[in-house]
Amino acid sequence: MNNLESIAHVRKNGEECILEQPIWKYESQELIAHRRKSDGAEQALISHLQETSQLAEGFAAKIGLPEIGRILGLLHDFGKASDIYQGYLRSKEGLINPDQDGYVDAHRGEIDHSTAGAQLIYEKLSYSDNAKLILMQFLSLVLASHHSGLIDALTPDGRNNFLRRVTKPGEDTHFMEARAKLAEIEKLLDGILTLAPERVLLEKMSKMKEKEAESQATLSFKHGLLVRFLLSCLLDADRLSTSDFETSENKIVRSYGSYLPWTILIERLEKKFSEFDLETASMDKNSQAYKVNQIRAHVAQACCDFASEPKGIYRLTVPTAGGKTLASLRFALHHAQAHTNDKEKIERIFYIVPYITIIDQNANEVRSILEQQNERDKVVLEHHSNLTPEKESSRHNLLAENWDAPIIFTTQVQFLESLFGAGTRNTRRMHQLANSVIILDEVQTIPIKTTHMFTTALRFLVHDCGSTVLLCTATQPPFEATGNPYRDLNLQSRQHIIKDEEALYKDLKRVDVYDERKPIGWTYPKIADLANRALLKKGSVLIIMNTRTSALEVYREIKARNWTETYHLSTNMCPAHRFDVLNRIKAKLDAHEPVICVSTQLIEAGVNIDFGAVIRALAGLDSIAQSAGRCNRHGLRNSPG
């Protein structure tokens, strides 16, 4: 039986032709999308489609494509209207026994219910003008991908998976049956299509061309990011509708983008800066510590003054221990407030760090300033793979699913996964990066092989999604000269928050660097001897090695000599153990007790720790500069580190 015959067939009765409708087990009003496990309540399919449509419309509106979001939400579960899917769902929930009519074995696997919506769009738009063809491709690709992640539309050997999917046989997708049952949804779709969403999409795509000579490859890459963004809108809308039906208490936990006003958070942060000013005023004006605090205050004020600039990509280049964490946050909060009257106001601030070792300390510092006791995770939300058990609550996990907080602390890995990762879990979060301030701390750690993808994605987020990006580090990578002019960031001097960076580095000099290289290299015992001499002279020593093996061997060599308390840090250690060791080291340093730490590069960037001397295994100048930031960090010592 072909697709048309699955809807109706002609029967001859003498000379009269009678159109006979098929008999379906489940009519439109009986269709369900989900069944709640706790009490057996059912979510009507049409209600789920309309609710998802409304949510996706709001998410896609952030980049000016609300109608496309509406369409995606309406059609994403179109195939669930089929009898076989309804039977599958009820059989899986135990409502139909194996010996009853309509039973579908749940062990056979999921029933394809995502292709039917893509096929409806394909049928309506595939034989149209170019604008509608492009709209068809965007919509059908997203709809067909919302369970698997973006499908590989065209393989290297020329296989067209996209075409195969949208022309999949009707008996496998149940397209005609779903279409007949969901005529109400198709009518809504037709109404949206009269608004010419293809013109809006085409205009959006044309504006994505930033330069007249922009390469087609770069433009196509950004179009791919746009498809992924729309998939993110649909995924989050679908998951919210489903999850909040399954667990109604979720609605109490979620903020749905309604957060504390930026003015309140600014007030709390400025109070902290006032305390810093009072502390500095009480210091000895001739001390190095006073000078360091003055420079930090200068950096923070420069960030505050710069916050009224338009959205864009900016640089904050500050020496290690220059107070970047709070200074960049000051910029972000004031920048968000400065753009509250924009058509697309800033909704979130992201603080992206490269290492798990520093995310905890930075998040805790900001949380202690901005969050009150009853506001846990309502202001600052951490999202990374190594949360301690007391932080990883069900409430936290729920909010982390879609970054539902005004200030998000997360890792480079999570950030890059949201932009480029496979599957649906990470893709779901991507749309939250729109209309945000994205602070990229220690940005020099971005893997070189991802540079062009990274810079193009930043341009997409700023130029096409209304965000601002702040590149923070003491050692800025040359993103304006990546070797591909179409993917450079094209940063100008006006985009630098600190205008006289060289003078700042001279003023904040707190260490002397000595070249101790030897033609024959250094043995582990010789490194231990060097550490002992530095310990006797400076009171505390940090040794940073390039590999876990060498760090462990040096640690064992020093530990065996029993000179003083010696600690070892490595990424092989679990987070709780690592944090415990770091806290014990800090306690020793605060008490001015002798201590030696041997570590891998995990301690090199961003960790707020202050040794009298640092020994760094041979590395690039950027690593040496970062390592120097762990030495005489606050300028409290009488002589340079």
Note whether residue 198 is domain-resident: yes
Q: In the listed set 225, 248, 271, which residue is the last one of a domain according to the structure? A: 248
Least Cα distance to 379 among 333, 345, 338 occurs for 333
Note whether residue 323 is domain-resident: yes
467 and 538 fall within a common domain: no
Euclidean distance between CA atoms 589 and 577, whole angstroms: 19
460 and 567 fall within a common domain: no
Which residues 6+ apart lie within 8 Å of 227 measured at CB? 138, 141, 142, 150
For the segment 27-47, the average pLDDT, to the nearest whole number, is 88
Give how far Cα 313 sits from Cα of 57, 142, 491, Å. Answer: 28, 29, 8
Q: What is the pLDDT of residue 467?
A: 98
Looking only at the bridges linking them, the beta strands covering 380-383 and 407-411 are parallel
pLDDT band, residue 5 (cuts 50/70/90): very low
Q: What is the pLDDT of residue 441?
A: 93
472 and 334 fall within a common domain: yes
196 and 310 fall within a common domain: no
Least Cα distance to 166 among 187, 146, 189, 137 occurs for 137
Q: What is the dihedral of CA 175, 431, 407, 394, to 10 degrees?
A: 20
Amino acid in the structure at residue 406: P
pLDDT of residue 172 exceeding 80, the answer is yes
The 3-state DSSP class for residue 74 equals helix
Euclidean distance between CA atoms 616 and 227, whole angstroms: 45
Classify burial at 242, counting beta carbons within 10 Å of its beta carbon; exposed 0-12, middle 13-18, buried 19 or more. middle
Note whether residue 634 is domain-resident: no
125 and 96 fall within a common domain: yes
Domain that holds residue 103: 22-248
435 and 473 fall within a common domain: yes
For the segment 197-217, the average pLDDT, to the nearest whole number, is 88
Classify burial at 641, counting beta carbons within 10 Å of its beta carbon; exposed 0-12, middle 13-18, buried 19 or more. buried
Q: Please, what's the b/e burial string for 381-390 (b: 16 or more CB within 10 A of its CB; e: otherwise)?
A: bbbbebbeee
Looking only at the bridges linking them, the beta strands covering 9-13 and 16-20 are antiparallel
311 and 361 fall within a common domain: yes
Residue written as token pair 């994505």: 208
Euclidean distance between CA atoms 120 and 329, whole angstroms: 47
Amino acid in the structure at residue 450: T
Q: What is the pLDDT of residue 23?
A: 57
The 3-state DSSP class for residue 246 equals helix
Q: Please, what's the b/e burial string for 281-293 (b: 16 or more CB within 10 A of its CB; e: otherwise)?
A: eeeeeeebbbbbb
End-to-end CA distance of the chain: 83
Least Cα distance to 148 among 234, 242, 59 occurs for 234
For the segment 280-294, the average pLDDT, to the nearest whole number, is 84
Q: What is the pLDDT of residue 2?
A: 35
Q: What is the pLDDT of residue 638?
A: 67
- Taking all residues of the chain, what is their mean pLDDT, rounded to a whole number? 88
pLDDT of residue 13 exceeding 50, the answer is no
Euclidean distance between CA atoms 614 and 624, whole angstroms: 10
Euclidean distance between CA atoms 594 and 601, whole angstroms: 22
pLDDT band, residue 1 (cuts 50/70/90): very low
Higher pLDDT, 201 or 358: 201
Strands (E), 219-324: 313-317
Please tell me the number of Cα atoms within 13 Å of 270 on its side-chain side. 11
Q: What is the pLDDT of residue 478?
A: 83
Note whether residue 640 is domain-resident: no
pLDDT of residue 8 exceeding 60, the answer is no
Do residues 474 and 626 make contact, with C-beta atoms less than 8 angstroms apart?
yes
What CATH number should be reported for the domain holding residue 36? Answer: 1.10.3210
Among 95-104, 158-167, 244-253, 604-613, the least confident range? 95-104
Euclidean distance between CA atoms 139 and 141, whole angstroms: 6
485 and 599 fall within a common domain: no
230 and 329 fall within a common domain: no
- Percentage above 90 pLDDT, the chain: 57
pLDDT (tens digit, 9 = 90+) per residue, 412-458? Answer: 999 999 999 999 999 999 999 999 999 999 898 898 888 999 999 99
pLDDT (tens digit, 9 = 90+) per residue, 339-348? Answer: 998 888 999 9
The neighbouring-strand residues paired with 597 are 542, 567
337 and 315 fall within a common domain: yes
Q: How many domains does the chain have?
A: 3
Q: Maximum CA pair distance of the chain?
A: 111
Q: What is the pLDDT of residue 9?
A: 37
Q: What is the pLDDT of residue 511?
A: 83
Do residues 73 and 188 make contact, with C-beta atoms less than 8 angstroms apart?
no
